[in-house]
């Protein structure tokens, strides 16, 4: 092609279309679904960006299924994604952190839809009111039931069955990062043209890093393996660049994104207070686990691979160890040694 026609900017929409030949099936459908998520992300971004101005900060006065206080933006983001997915025509059901039951989409345009979406519409909501990075996490599966009413089994698939997964980070810039199983690509929102533009092609997480991310305030409640691993991170050793830095934002998406770029490990272990961990398998852990693996990293529940866990409920929780492969592997070794299952 003559260089005059070469594009210097590749938008998310262009990239999805160009890559759709890679999809094993239903090429156009998955492309449209990803596009719909991108559009909803832009709408949520618009609101997040003016959060200090409009009357959208603070609690809404209700709790979600997990008894967590809902923020106004949690509810707004949930509505935006549900509405975009319902009118897009490619999604037949949604499992959201904010809804106890799965949501079956019965709009006319969706009657032949073949995908289900799991979503954490706003992750890190305790950071909304203080202008700290938050995000959205999503995971897409093909429905397994053949037709009719959607079944719970359509959602209770192992993470290995995902066909696309991604997150949006509303940070100092807004980015959308996703995978369809052929590597990980990141797009930065250019507000002047209102488009996500390819900025981080083929992302790879360094094999090891110098950052550990964990809510150390819960130290007394951690399993012995995690306590010992933290001690390891804090010991001085020039060869491994220890002691490592401790970095914890409290927004999983933001902590994960930083460690993906720089190398590091994020841990939300089982604690005495949350014996199964805090984070949710379907719409927090599985999508990030697939992304990290596609970027060359590792995700574990402390003993084995996250993507191999057979889910048995929509809002199931799991301990979560994710990031640079060598760091996660070592944390698993500490668990095996000090905290047998």
Site residues, ligand AHG (CB under 6 A): 68, 97, 120, 123-125, 215, 250-252, 278
> In whole angstroms, how close is the CB of 290 to Mn ion at the nearest point?
16
- Identify which range of 113-121, 205-213, 307-315, 323-331 contacts Mn ion by CB under 5 A: 113-121
Q: Is 120 in the site for Mn ion (CB under 5 A)?
A: yes
> In whole angstroms, how close is the CB of 123 to ligand AHG at the nearest point?
4
> In whole angstroms, how close is the CB of 219 to Mn ion at the nearest point?
22
Query: Which of the choices Mn ion, ligand AHG, none does residue 215 contact, using the CB cut-off of 5 to 8 A by kind?
Result: ligand AHG
Nearest residue to Mn ion by CB is 123
Rank residues 130 and 238 by Cβ distance to Mn ion and give the closer one: 130
Query: Which of the choices Mn ion, ligand AHG, none does residue 68 contact, using the CB cut-off of 5 to 8 A by kind?
Result: ligand AHG
Rank residues 260 and 335 by Cβ distance to Mn ion and give the closer one: 260
- Identify which range of 88-96, 122-130, 302-310, 329-337 contacts Mn ion by CB under 5 A: 122-130
- Identify which range of 99-107, 117-125, 241-249, 333-341 contacts Mn ion by CB under 5 A: 117-125
Nearest CA to 98 out of 116, 73, 115 is that of 73
Rank residues 183 and 250 by Cβ distance to ligand AHG and give the closer one: 250
> In whole angstroms, how close is the CB of 252 to Mn ion at the nearest point?
6
> In whole angstroms, how close is the CB of 282 to ligand AHG at the nearest point?
12
> In whole angstroms, how close is the CB of 43 to Mn ion at the nearest point?
17
Q: How far apart are CA 318 and CA 301, in angstroms?
A: 7
Residue 182: partners with Cβ closer than 8 Å, 6 or more residues away? 19, 22, 294
> In whole angstroms, how close is the CB of 136 to Mn ion at the nearest point?
8
Residue 318: partners with Cβ closer than 8 Å, 6 or more residues away? 276, 277, 279, 280, 281, 285, 301, 306, 309
Q: Give the one residue of 36, 90, 123, 195 binding Mn ion; rule: CB under 5 A.
A: 123
Q: Alpha helix (H) ranges present in the chain?
A: 12-19, 27-49, 72-88, 224-234, 252-262, 286-294, 325-338
Q: Give the one residue of 97, 255, 301, 332 binding Mn ion; rule: CB under 5 A.
A: 97
List the beta strands (DSSP E) in 191-248.
Answer: 195-200, 211-213, 245-246
For Cα atoms 178, 104, 59, give the angle at the middle one, nearest 5 degrees: 70
Q: How far apart are CA 196 and CA 45, in angstroms?
A: 12
Q: How far apart are CA 300 and CA 337, in angstroms?
A: 16
Q: Is 255 in the site for Mn ion (CB under 5 A)?
A: no
> In whole angstroms, how close is the CB of 215 to ligand AHG at the nearest point?
3
Query: Which of the choices Mn ion, ligand AHG, none does residue 185 contact, using the CB cut-off of 5 to 8 A by kind?
Result: none
Rank residues 68 and 100 by Cβ distance to ligand AHG and give the closer one: 68
Sheet holding 164-170, edge to edge: 103-104, 91-96, 115-123, 134-142, 164-170, 174-179, 184-190, 195-200
Query: Which of the choices Mn ion, ligand AHG, none does residue 278 contact, using the CB cut-off of 5 to 8 A by kind?
Result: ligand AHG
DSSP string, 62-106: EE-TTSPEEEHHHHHHHHHHHHHHHHHSSEEEEEETT-SS-EE--
Rank residues 15 and 138 by Cβ distance to ligand AHG and give the closer one: 138
Q: How far apart are CA 219 and CA 215, in angstroms?
A: 8
Q: Is 293 in the site for Mn ion (CB under 5 A)?
A: no
Between the CA of residue 9 and those of 40, 122, 180, 188, 199, what are the distances in Å?
Answer: 21, 28, 21, 11, 9
Q: How far apart are CA 19 and CA 104, in angstroms?
A: 29
Provide the 10 A C-beta neighbour count for residue 3: 5
Tell me which residues touch Mn ion (CB under 5 A): 97, 120, 122-123
């Amino acid at each position: 092609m003559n260089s005059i026609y070469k594009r210097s900017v590749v938008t998310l929409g262009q990239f999805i279309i160009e890559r759709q030949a890679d999809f094993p099936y239903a090429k156009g459908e998955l492309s449209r679904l990803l596009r719909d998520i991108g559009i909803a992300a832009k709408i949520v971004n618009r609101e997040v960006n003016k959060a200090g101005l409009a009357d959208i900060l603070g609690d809404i006065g209700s709790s979600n299924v997990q008894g967590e206080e809902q923020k106004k933006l949690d509810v707004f983001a949930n509505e935006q994604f549900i509405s975009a997915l319902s009118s897009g025509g490619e999604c037949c059901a949604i499992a959201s952190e904010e809804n106890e039951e799965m949501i079956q989409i019965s709009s006319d345009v969706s009657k032949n839809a073949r995908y289900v979406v799991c979503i954490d519409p706003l992750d890190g909501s305790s950071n909304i009111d203080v202008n700290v990075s938050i995000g959205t996490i999503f995971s897409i599966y093909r429905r397994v039931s053949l037709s009719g009413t959607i079944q719970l089994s359509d959602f209770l698939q192992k993470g290995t069955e995902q066909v696309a997964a991604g997150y949006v980070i509303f940070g100092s810039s807004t980015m959308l990062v996703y995978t369809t199983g052929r590597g990980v690509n990141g797009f930065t929102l250019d507000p002047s043209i209102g488009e996500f533009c390819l900025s981080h092609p083929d992302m790879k997480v360094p094999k090891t890093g110098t950052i550990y991310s964990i809510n150390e305030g819960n130290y007394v409640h951690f399993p012995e393996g995690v306590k010992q691993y933290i001690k390891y991170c804090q010991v001085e050793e020039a060869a491994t660049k220890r002691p490592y830095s401790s970095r914890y934002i409290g927004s999983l998406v933001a902590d994960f994104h930083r460690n993906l770029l720089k190398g590091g490990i994020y841990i939300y272990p089982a604690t005495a207070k949350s014996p199964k961990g805090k984070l949710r398998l379907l719409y927090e852990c599985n999508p990030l686990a697939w992304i990290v693996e596609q970027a060359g990293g590792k995700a574990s529940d402390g003993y084995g691979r996250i993507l191999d866990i057979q889910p048995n409920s929509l809002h199931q929780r799991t301990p979560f160890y994710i990031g640079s492969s060598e760091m996660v592997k070592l944390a698993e070794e500490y668990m095996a040694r000090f905290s047998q299952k």
